[in-house]
Structure 1
Amino acid sequence: MDPRAVEASFEFNPETVGRLRSRWLALMETSLWGDLKTSKIGTLPRLRKRWLELGENLVSLTRDRRWIPQPRERVKGAMAASLNLRDSLLHVERSLQVLDGGEDFAAFEKDILQFRQELLQFMEHHEKAWGDLLESQYDPPEE
């Protein structure tokens, strides 16, 4: 693997990461303190737990991996972190399906969708770079 390409694949835009962090915090606050309603018992605590897991997985994805000596292992670890984040997002989405009201529901739902869109764009950009790096290992050597 080209070491420069590996380094470039881990260049997370600080503005994007900051925005995702701020949106995640605001949504976490609304899930905890906001007026959200559901007819199913245990949904809100489960949503908060899932939302916290999503935040932890987002932090994991964006952590510095330079301590991992092998570039291939660094990339594979990042891909695994990305898959964990996708799984967390899926669990959050399932928890959201049973929310059905409250004063903050409409704004919360809109904000979640915006966060989700930006998160997926961020992830897909880096996943493509990591996938290309892993695929490059199987390319025939140039003569």
Structure 2
Amino acid sequence: MDPRIVEASFEFDPATVKHLRAQWLALMETSLWGDLKTSKIGTLPRLRKRWLELGEHLASLTRDRRWIPQPRERVKGAMAASLNLRDTLLHVERSLQVLGGGEDFAAFEKDILQFRHELLQFMEHHEKAWCDLLESQYDPPDN
């Protein structure tokens, strides 16, 4: 793997990361302090737990991995972090399906969908670069 291409694949736009972090934090605050209603007992605590996990996985995805000496292992670790983030996002979405009331619900739902859209765009950009790097190892060498 070309070290320059590996490094470039980990260049997370600081403004985008800051924006995603701020969105996550605002949604976490609403999930804790907002007026959200559900008919199933335990849904809101599970949602908060999953939302916290989502933030942890987002932080993990964007952490500096230069301490990992092997580029392939660095890329594989990032892909694993991305998969964990996707999995947690799916769990959050399942929790949201049983929410349906409260004064803050409509805005919360809209903001979650916006966050989800921006998060997936961010992830897909980097996942594509990492997949390309991993697949390049199996390309025949140029003659």
The Cα shift of 1:127 comes to 0.2
Give the letter for the 1:2 counterpart: D
The answer to whether structure 1 residue 118 and structure 2 residue 83 are counterparts is no
Partner of 2:11: 11
The answer to whether structure 1 residue 36 and structure 2 residue 36 are counterparts is yes
SS at match of 2:132: helix
Measure, in 2, the Cα distance between the counterparts of 1:136 and 1:45: 43
Q: How many residues align?
A: 143
Unaligned ranges ≥5, structure 2: none
Give the letter for the 1:105 counterpart: F
Instruction: List per-residue Cα deviations over 1:102-143 (Å, max 9, x = no partner).
Output: 000000000000000000000000000000000000001112
Unaligned ranges ≥5, structure 1: none
Instruction: List per-residue Cα deviations over 1:45-90 (Å, max 9, x = no partner).
Output: 0000000000000000000000000000000000000000000000
Measure, in 1, the Cα distance between the counterparts of 2:16 and 2:114: 13
TM value normalised by structure 2: 1.00
Partner of 2:20: 20
CA RMSD of aligned residues (A): 0.3
Give the letter for the 2:49 counterpart: K
Q: Which runs of 4+ in 1 moved over 4 A?
A: none
Partner of 1:133: 133
The Cα shift of 1:25 comes to 0.1
The answer to whether structure 1 residue 53 and structure 2 residue 53 are counterparts is yes
Give the letter for the 1:128 counterpart: K
Partner of 1:96: 96
The answer to whether structure 1 residue 69 and structure 2 residue 31 are counterparts is no
